[in-house]
Amino acid sequence: MAEIGFLILAISIVVVIVGAYKKYQAGKLASAPFVSTGDASSGTGAGEKGAISAYGDVKCEQLLISPVTKTECIYYELKVVGSWKEGDSSKSKDYVAEKISAAIQIDDGSGPVLINAGNGGDFEGLEKTFDETKQEGLFADLKSAVGKGEPMMFGEYPFENPPMSKADKFQCTEKVLKASPKMFASGKFADGVITTPDGMLGALMLSPKSRDELLGDTEAQAKKLLKFGGIGAGVGLLIAIISLVIG
């Protein structure tokens, strides 16, 4: 019974942490000056440390094609993680970690501003389009040594395990952000671009929602997560204590 209580407590703590991060996001959204896209392109009205936000029609002359599922998008993430056993321990390593963005602009009619999403961020609508794990063949190293090696296919993406690699199992994931008619961006102004803010928790925010809609939703999520996480933590701790006392 105590184990159940501690499990509830652990899950609730995670919920509280997520809620705290949502509250932090809401604070960042509220504090970033909201300006026209024309002003955003020149940094007019930017706040402390270049904080700025804008909302407008999305313009992208050349959409990207994601490497695994061939999905049209304005941004994608590709990751291949290799894993292997060393004695009783499990090891892993990122063999591919790509974050690729198209040239994105938003324009509310006052002039376009470029969005630099190449570092990733908090992108509402980011969709996981592929997630698959494969085991490398038993004779893969031998085939590669004699020049007859074949790439491991994840959808349309060919992955080649590097020579002398220890990994024999690989997980490939792909996430894409499709184009939306309008987009809200909140980040830092730098050289005519809205980009990733400085700091460990600095993240570019993109959403098809307006600023008011996104701020309202984020605040509501934070409140709900903190409330239920706090209640869950109290219940889990109470169950654990009672179980230990009875035991």
In angstroms, the CA 180 to CA 138 distance is 45
Tokens, residue 237: 């701790």
Q: What's the half-sphere exposure (Cβ side, CA atoms, 13 Å) at 30? A: 11
The reported pLDDT for the residue numbered 163 is: 76
| Residue 102 pLDDT greater than 60, yes or no | yes
Q: Under a CB-based contact definition with an 8 Å cutoff, are residues 29 and 186 in contact? A: yes
Q: How confident is the model at residue 141 (pLDDT cuts 50, 70, 90)?
A: low
Q: How confident is the model at residue 146 (pLDDT cuts 50, 70, 90)?
A: very low
Q: Does pTM surpass 0.95? A: no
The total number of structural domains in the chain stands at 1
Nearest to 215 by CA among 14, 29, 28: 29
Tokens, residue 96: 């591919």
In angstroms, the CA 97 to CA 18 distance is 24
User: Domain range spanning residue 59?
Assistant: 2-246
Query: 34-71: per-residue pLDDT in tens?
Result: 999 999 999 999 998 899 999 999 999 999 999 999 99
Please report, rounded to a whole number, the percentage of residues in the chain having pLDDT higher than 70: 93
Q: How confident is the model at residue 236 (pLDDT cuts 50, 70, 90)?
A: confident
Q: Give me the residues paired with residue 174 across strands.
A: 78, 130
Least confident piece of the model among 142-146, 156-160, 202-206, 230-234: 142-146
Residue with tokens 């004699």: 146
